[in-house]
Amino acid sequence: METGLKNRVAIVAASSQGIGRATALALAAEGAHLAMCARGAAALHETAEEVRRLYGVEVYTDTFDVSQDDRVRNFADAVHRHYGRIDVCVTNAGGPPAKSFAETTMEEWDRAYQLNLRSTVSFAHAVLPHMQQQHWGRLIAITSIAVKQPVLELVLSNSVRVGVLGLVRSLATQYGPDNITINNVAPGYTATARVKDLAEAGARASGRSVQEYESQMTADIPMRRLALPEEVADAVVWLASERASYVTGQTIVVDGGAYRGL
């Protein structure tokens, strides 16, 4: 399948590990040049080097926290100065902590908003004007199955990420005439460091062992296994590609059938 991504320029946020990393590798495999970020330098530089070695594309990197609006803007401007364009922007970040509602603090609510909703707004503000000028663009938010079906002990994620859905739907309407598509990829449990944290929190809350909790996680998924980060990345690549040129404002759930709604 020809994706049309060769020589496109793609920002992939929070991409030193996990789903972001797999997405960076998958876009580079299609020939896209990348701009990657994360807070920690060591893992980011290691992943960037791996991308260059495997696919020979250019990779621009910067280390910062995506909840810092000024850093997001500076990054996007620097990427545009460096490459002369921004075609694809994949928004991503870490997830908020897993805990029961009673345990959450107002500081954690503020942080969850900054991390998972406000950071998406920052990237959208920073990249959409460039995409408008090009009359071509793809903005893809990575969220969670929580936007369709609340996840136990993830009240912060369940609440804040729904705002991303409203943002995606609103922007898809507004930027359709600019030939920019805006979509959301919602992963179910995916085999990354994050899922280990979730299993530990879930085990603590339910009084079971981590192993028992992990078995229960997969038993509830029709495919009876976690997603691979590469399987989530493939959905992002499709949405970024020419093959999804008429798909906008949508949520693509990649969860092995875990979401039971119609």
Find the shortest distance in angstroms from Cβ 117 to ligand NAP. 11
Find the shortest distance in angstroms from Cβ 189 to ligand NAP. 4
Find the shortest distance in angstroms from Cβ 39 to ligand NAP. 3
Strand-by-strand arrangement of the 251-254 sheet:
59-63, 33-38, 9-12, 88-91, 137-142, 180-187, 251-254
**164: nearest Cα among 139, 195, 132, 189:** 139
Interacting residues with ligand NAP (CB under 6 A): 14-20, 37-40, 43, 65-67, 92-95, 115, 142, 144-145, 187, 189-190, 192-195
Cβ proximity to ligand NAP, 5 vs 142, nearer residue: 142
Find the shortest distance in angstroms from Cβ 96 to ligand NAP. 7
Find the shortest distance in angstroms from Cβ 138 to ligand NAP. 18
Find the shortest distance in angstroms from Cβ 66 to ligand NAP. 4
Rounded to whole angstroms, how far apart are CA atoms 52 and 50? Answer: 5
Cβ proximity to ligand NAP, 122 vs 181, nearer residue: 122
Residues 6+ away with beta carbon under 8 Å from 170:
none
Cβ proximity to ligand NAP, 94 vs 137, nearer residue: 94
Cβ proximity to ligand NAP, 45 vs 243, nearer residue: 45
**132: nearest Cα among 181, 69, 79, 169:** 181
CB 259 within 8 A of CB 190: no
Rounded to whole angstroms, how far apart are CA atoms 147 and 143? Answer: 7
Residue type for position 72: V
Cβ proximity to ligand NAP, 52 vs 243, nearer residue: 52
What residues does 200 pair with on adjacent strands? Answer: none
Cβ proximity to ligand NAP, 178 vs 210, nearer residue: 210
For 241-255, b/e burial (b = at least 16 CB within 10 A) is beebeeebbbbbbbb
